[in-house]
Amino acid sequence: MTELVHVETTGAVATIRLDRPKMNALNGQMQEELGARAREVDADPAVRAVVVYGGERVFAAGVDIKEMADMTYADMSAHSAGLQECFTAVARIGKPVVAAITGYALGGGCELALCADFRITGEGAKLGQPEISLGIIPGAGGTQRLPRLIGPSRAKDLIYTGRHVDAAEALAIGLVDKVVPDTDVYTEAVALAERFAGGPAVALRAAKLAVDHGLEVDLATGLEIERLHFSGLFATDDARAGLRAFTAKEKPEFTGR
């Protein structure tokens, strides 16, 4: 069986590369491999930041509709848990994750991009949640992650209408963080990932957990989550190195411990 999701590592940056021509439709095999690759880079201490990339022409056009067309309620009830889990594995990577978006990021492709911490997109990209046109709704996190990112009203607009948004609108509503020429998407994403790769890995993981978990609870609980992570970091070598370097007016050297 040909592998459809690869991990390519350069230095401390790993790229999770979707590779199912022509449109990277996320079939069952890709979903399983995506989850496995996400857990792999999360567990690898040599990897300090991650890029998710679909190639020069397309990010991912969505979940494979042909594969789902004949599924019954019972079939999808069983399948949907695995579908969500593979995306959740990407969202739970405890390192900075950048989505490099070219071409289409629709349906499941858009939901995958939502799992990243940052989204860099090409000028010609199109994003959206068109599931409503099929008589269904997003099922891999779109109804939950999208409103948390751009607000419920804007999310409902995209989900209710199923319309595609171009890169300029995606930037304006906060769906993506930066728009660059199509040919520069991957380079820009890697450059952003490299900015974090030399940072304090334990603190970056703690920051990600504090923000993500804090969004799921009330403010008082979120502040307690922050306090515990903040205090715990004082047991790390990186915190000691950073604090000492500050007092000595030097640049800290972080080891990830």
DSSP the chain: ----EEEEEETTEEEEEE--TTT--B-HHHHHHHHHHHHHHHH-TT--EEEEE--SS-SB--B-HHHHTT--HHHHHHHHHHHHHHHHHHHT-SS-EEEEE-SEEETHHHHHHHTSSEEEEETT-EEE-GGGGGT----SSHHHHHHHHH-HHHHHHHHHH--EEEHHHHHHTTS-SEEE-GGGHHHHHHHHHHHHHTS-HHHHHHHHHHHHHHTTS-HHHHHHHHHHHHHHGGGSHHHHHHHHHHHTT--------
pLDDT of residue 180: 98
Domain extents for the chain? 5-197, 201-247
User: pLDDT tens-digit profile of 114-131?
Assistant: 999 999 999 999 999 999
Confidence label for 188 from pLDDT (cuts 50, 70 and 90): very high
pLDDT for 62 equals 86
Domain 201-247 classification at class level: mainly alpha
pLDDT at 154 over 80: yes
Question: Which residues in 8-20 are b (16+ Cβ under 10 Å) and which e?
Answer: eeeebbbbbbbeb
What's the rounded mean pLDDT across residues 129-152? Answer: 96
Q: What is the mean pLDDT of residues 143-172?
A: 98
| Residues 63/87, Cβ–Cβ less than 8 Å | no
How far is CA 157 from its chain centroid?
A: 22
- What percent of the chain shows pLDDT beyond 70? 100
Q: Is residue 1 predicted with pLDDT exceeding 80?
A: no
Mean per-residue pLDDT over the chain, rounded: 95
What pTM was computed for the model? 0.94
Segment among 74-78, 193-197, 198-202, 240-244 with least mean pLDDT = 74-78
**Residue 153 CA: distances (Å) to CA of 133, 160, 218:** 19, 10, 21
Q: What is the mean pLDDT of residues 228-249?
A: 91
Q: Which residues in 47-59 are b (16+ Cβ under 10 Å) and which e?
A: bbbbbbbbbeebb
Mean pLDDT of 169-179: 98
- Fold assignment, 5-197: 2-enoyl-CoA Hydratase; Chain A, domain 1 (3.90.226)
pLDDT per position as a tens digit, 22-81: 999 999 999 999 999 999 999 999 999 999 999 999 999 988 888 888 888 888 888 888
